[in-house]
């Protein structure tokens, strides 16, 4: 049973860079794409971007200029960096496993616990 454990700084000032990491325990790491999704308090979900074990990425155009999604296959970890944050980036950030990229099953069958990131001066 795969488990996704995530962590990172929870309080940032405007213009700083958000940095989160998600460690994958159990199951296959290389056989999947790993996504980041965020949810502002009391609001809906927004897909940010994804990466696989060889570093192939897809990103949401709305955030692409500020987003970097990275992979460390030696540790079975993926990371998210979001630069120049503002209050609008305040959200719970989730990492999630895509069910099956090759077959087109681009939905999410396992999720991390979520990390609240607050941007405030």
Partner 1 sequence: AIQLTQSPSSLSASVGDRVTITCRASQAISTALAWYQQKPGKPPKLLIYDASSLESGVPSRFSGSGSETDFTLTISSLQPEDSAAYYCQHFNSYPLTFGGGTQVEIK
Contact footprint for partner 1 (CB under 8 A): 35, 44-47, 58-62, 94, 96, 99, 104-109, 111-114
Please identify, using beta-carbon distances, which residue of 70 and 92 lies nearer to partner 1.
92
Separation CA 13–CA 33 (nearest Å):
30
The helix/strand/coil state of 70 is strand
Please identify, using beta-carbon distances, which residue of 65 and 121 lies nearer to partner 1.
65
The helix/strand/coil state of 30 is coil
Please identify, using beta-carbon distances, which residue of 34 and 94 lies nearer to partner 1.
94
Give min distance, CB of 58 to partner 1, in A: 6
Give strand pairing partners of 119.
12
Task: Return the closest-CA partner of residue 101 out of 49, 52, 37, 38.
Answer: 52
Give min distance, CB of 62 to partner 1, in A: 7
């Amino acid at each position: 049973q795969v488990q996704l454990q995530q962590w990172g700084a929870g309080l940032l000032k405007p213009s700083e860079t958000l940095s989160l990491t998600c460690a994958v325990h159990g199951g296959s790491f290389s056989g999947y794409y790993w996504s980041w999704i965020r949810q502002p308090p009391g609001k809906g979900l927004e897909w940010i971007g994804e990466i696989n074990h060889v570093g192939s990425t897809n990103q949401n155009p709305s955030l692409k200029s500020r987003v970097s999604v990275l992979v460390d296959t030696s540790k079975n970890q993926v990371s998210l960096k979001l630069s120049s944050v503002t209050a609008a980036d305040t959200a719970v950030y989730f990492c999630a496993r895509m069910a099956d990229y090759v077959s087109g099953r681009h939905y999410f069958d396992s999720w991390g616990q979520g990390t609240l990131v607050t941007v405030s001066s």
